[in-house]
Amino acid sequence: MTIGRASDDPFRHGPAHRVLGLDVGQRRIGVAVSDALGLTAQPLTVLTRREPAADAEAVCRLAQEQEAQVIVVGLPVGLKGEEGPAAERVREFGRLLAGKVGVPIEFWDERFSTVEAERAMRAGGATARQQRGVVDKVAAALVLQSYLDAQARHPEPTCGPCPPAGRQGGQAGEEP
């Protein structure tokens, strides 16, 4: 349950592994999944938020169905990397999820993911109405692809953009 860094070994979960990516919002959770080689991200689904425990159970089911060996949770940080109330809500959900799912949880910088998803969808001709309910899973795919690209480029443990406050590394179940 590493927080904020690319892995020490991009194949630490075996030569081929799926990764689940989450864009956790207050109303919806966008979900994306990698290909079996852990190289490309595809939008999967959008979960409507109910209550945290039920949301975590739904993510656990998806992780099992997709045979995910890692879950990457987008962390909403400010332009200077500071964490506010939204980031704390996402970290809290990550800690809850870590207690229910049997795979590592990694937080990853999601700055501008929703804005980029909306921009890409508009460029593809999608109307605002068509974007509704889809943009969250596209944002999750953008976050996940960023993570996968960093894994491929920098397998060292220091390249992740979201270390816990005051230190590098850490576990989803630990306090920052």
- 52-81 tens-digit pLDDT: 999 999 999 999 999 999 999 999 988 888
Establish if 174 belongs to a structural domain. no
Q: Return phi, psi of residue 13, to 5°.
A: -105, 20
Identify the domain containing residue 137 by its residue range. Answer: 18-153
The Cα 82–Cα 69 span in angstroms is: 29
* Averaged confidence pLDDT in the chain: 79
Residue 51 has pLDDT above 80, yes or no: yes
Q: Into how many domains does the chain fold?
A: 1
Task: Tell me the pLDDT tens digit for each residue of 104-131.
Answer: 999 998 876 666 766 776 677 766 666 6
Establish if 160 belongs to a structural domain. no
Q: Which parts of 27-134 fold into alpha helices (H)?
A: 52-65, 85-98, 113-123, 128-131
Establish if 92 belongs to a structural domain. yes
Establish if 13 belongs to a structural domain. no
Looking at residue 30, which CATH number applies to its domain? 3.30.420.140
- What pLDDT sits at residue 89? 96
Establish if 4 belongs to a structural domain. no
Establish if 172 belongs to a structural domain. no
Q: What is the pTM of this model?
A: 0.76
Q: Which two tokens stand for residue 96?
A: 């809850």
Name the packing angle between helices 135-153 and 113-123 (round to 10°).
110
